[in-house]
Amino acid sequence: MTESSNAPTDRVRFASATEEAGPGPGPERSGAAGVRRGQPGIVGLVLVSHSARLAAGLRELLEPLGGGLVPIATAGGSEDGTRDGGLGTSYERIEAAVTTADAGAGVLLLPDLGSSVLTARLVLADLGRDDVLLVDAPFVEGGVAAVVAASTGASLADVAAAAREARTVPKF
């Protein structure tokens, strides 16, 4: 893993392209309903988006691809008092989503763009966990690759690599 140099602290970890080994009321979640944190489990996903609807739509696409095995939590929108939240990102929603998606084998955060990356980095810096990674991958294609890899029981490092690799796959 590599350390992020432009985060507020030097403790934010994100998946690098050369990573070899995996690390030893809230958001909506799907999959792995009976798996508790700390048990040997499956890598969970957090979809971080500026839009709650966008994150929920991607979760809807990913759920069947993971065969109901992969915990998928959403952290979309900001806190504005409405059900879906306004456009933006929320520290609290990301933090809660990490807890929700954690099934024991780590959590991969997949951001949509811009400030969602910055907000996720702040959360990860405060959490200080080696088993939670922020990955630079396409939101939709990376999500598809990540959920398929996670559903096979792949390690956190391998799920992150699959998400990153999605960037290189042509659509046609």
Q: Where do the domains of the chain lie, and which CATH numbers do they carry?
A: 32-168 (3.40.50.510)
> Closest Cα partner for 33 from 70, 74, 75, 76?
70
Find out whether 42 and 103 touch, Cβ atoms under 8 Å. Answer: yes
Mean pLDDT (whole number) for 139-151: 97
pLDDT, tens digit, 9 for 90 and up, residues 98-109: 999 999 999 999
Residue that wins the pLDDT comparison between 17 and 117: 117
Find out whether 56 and 76 touch, Cβ atoms under 8 Å. Answer: yes
This prediction's pTM = 0.78
Tell me the sheet residues that pair with 48: 75, 111
pLDDT band with cut points at 50, 70 and 90 for residue 114: confident
For tokens 């955060």, the residue is: 109
Lowest mean pLDDT among 14-18, 90-94, 128-132, 164-168: 14-18
* pLDDT score recorded for residue 84: 63
Mean pLDDT (whole number) for 33-61: 80
Contacts of 116 (CB under 8 A, 6+ apart): 48, 49, 50, 89
State the Rg of the chain over Cα: 14
